Structure 1
């Protein structure tokens, strides 16, 4: 635990989570609202996906200033949250965004979740999505959408675990790395009328 005791980590406000159930190793995480000072780490995680993955359809990495500007716009009911490890490094981030621009869509949001490539499959996405669904409920949104690009069974399973249901598949709507990509749309209703 890098010289820290469990009491130190509890004082830090961390949430314990299993890293490896086979050997019982426990890692500690904290999820909090993103700060402007997180911009470089958020950009590094996002830009890796821009250059090497299909979770985003962006093709050009974001500059640090672009990431800072994007973070400045994240406030109120459309927040960005980060997951910090016990060394206070950002190992994942997530946000709620407007689902569509027209006013009648105002009760719906879309989630985005990105986890550092060295920490995928460790439960960080689960913590981030749990926080996003809590915030969406707190802010009174009726519906959360997830748009999952390409073949991503981990993201599909994660969203199912949090009550999302498959509502459709858009065929070959994007092209990246010389391949056509489908987008799977999932939805979770938060406030049922």
Structure 2
């Protein structure tokens, strides 16, 4: 498997993986996959990666800014999606570790994530990669008639903070 920057040409496959996540009902509050232009505007240009094995894209990861305010320029939110055929095979961990490393190189000191409380696999993955739970937003939003709690995570870079 290789991890490389996500290119515009990859988006058709990434959009299908995003749809796989939407179909689970526990990956996002979004209900439709955005087109490339909308997706490209939402996510930061740096720190976008895909995992590829045998020329098949198995997952993607990208960052969205936490805020446009200058004081938060080093804070971003991680979005990670894995193809339904590749879940549980270490792809998510490899992508998450790649974006952690590259985000630190790019000057990010805090990464955040919001994960549905019932998405136990994602919660375990983020915790294994050094994210800690900082709160739970109960019944934050309803999707498909079901209230969902959102678990809030953060990971502080040791490069920027004395631990």
TM-score (norm: length of structure 2)? 0.90
The equivalent of 1:71 in structure 2 is 40
Report if aligned partners of 1:147, 1:184 keep a CA contact under 8 Å in 2: yes
User: 3-state DSSP class of the match of 2:112?
Assistant: strand
Task: Verify: 1:85 aligned to 2:53, yes or no.
Answer: yes
**Aligned ranges for residues 1-193 of structure 1 at < 5 Å?**
29-62=1-34, 66-71=35-40, 74=43, 76=45, 78-86=46-54, 88-190=55-157, 191-193=160-162
Report if aligned partners of 1:71, 1:80 keep a CA contact under 8 Å in 2: no
C-alpha change, 1:151 and 1:75, in structure 2 (3 Å) is closer
| CA shift digits 1:157-177 (9 cap, x unpaired) | 111111111100000111112
Report if aligned partners of 1:91, 1:115 keep a CA contact under 8 Å in 2: yes
Which 5+ residue runs of structure 1 have no aligned equivalent?
Answer: 1-28
User: 3-state DSSP class of the match of 1:121?
Assistant: coil
User: 3-state DSSP class of the match of 2:32?
Assistant: coil
| Greater radius of gyration (CA) | 1
Asked which structure has the greater RCO (Cα within 8 Å, sep 6+), the reply is 2
Runs of 4+ deviating beyond 4 Å: 72-76
Which 5+ residue runs of structure 2 have no aligned equivalent?
Answer: none
The count of aligned residue pairs is 160
User: 3-state DSSP class of the match of 2:33?
Assistant: coil
Q: Give the Cα–Cα distance (whole angstroms) in 1 for the partners of residues 42 and 152 of structure 2.
A: 25
| CA shift digits 1:61-93 (9 cap, x unpaired) | 33xxx22552377555x331000012x111100
| Aligned CA-pair RMSD | 1.8
User: 3-state DSSP class of the match of 2:108?
Assistant: coil
TM-score (norm: length of structure 1)? 0.76
